[in-house]
Structure 1
């Protein structure tokens, strides 16, 4: 399955969750629901996945943690904030660069309209 197909499934699942639960809950609630929905749809989902990085000869274990890693291809960062800012964008872009993955998504469940709270971030896609 390609990255764009995965992102479409993630978006559809996010809309379903947002419609059912609305805004105002903690990020972990939306995360657990999204993991549940994506697994139901047959996707391999790792959540709260620690990532190691290599800097020159130095190996840093558990350098950062991604909210979700889907099919070992797409990183999902879940937010429940007023708005997505540049920090969120660059954080995810850095995760993509370090892991050499091509696509990530920020899902902000605090947006009144779910689609307005979704940001795709690409790395060499």
Structure 2
């Protein structure tokens, strides 16, 4: 599937989840609901995917977990915070580099309008 089409589907399902639940829940609730919605439209999704750090020629489990990975291409980082900050963008860029993923979506569900909490990040 073409990456722009894929991200449009993810964003559309994220908006649906946000409209149904509204802001104010835990990140885990949005994660499970978005996983369900993406799975229901036939997308391949990995939840809480481990992300090791490659260092000195070996892979080390440092406790990093990707919220969702869709079609082995798009990393989704879910937040439920007041505002996205630069550190969240830096975190996403690190995830993309470590996992060699081309694109990530930062989604902050704690917004009145979800579009204000969406950031598309390209490596």
* TM-score where L is the length of structure 1: 0.94
1:21-100 pair list within 5 angstroms: 21-100=21-100
- CA-CA distance at 1:71 after TM superposition: 0.6
Aligned with 1:43: secondary structure?
coil
- CA-CA distance at 1:63 after TM superposition: 4.5
C-alpha deviations, 1:29-82, integer Å up to 9, x for none? 111100000001110000111012211323203551100010100000000000
Q: Which runs of 5+ in 2 are unaligned?
A: none
- CA-CA distance at 1:5 after TM superposition: 1.6
Q: 1:62 to 1:41 in 2, by over 3 A?
A: farther
Higher strand share: 1
Runs ≥4 residues deviating over 4 A:
none
Give the paired residue count.
123
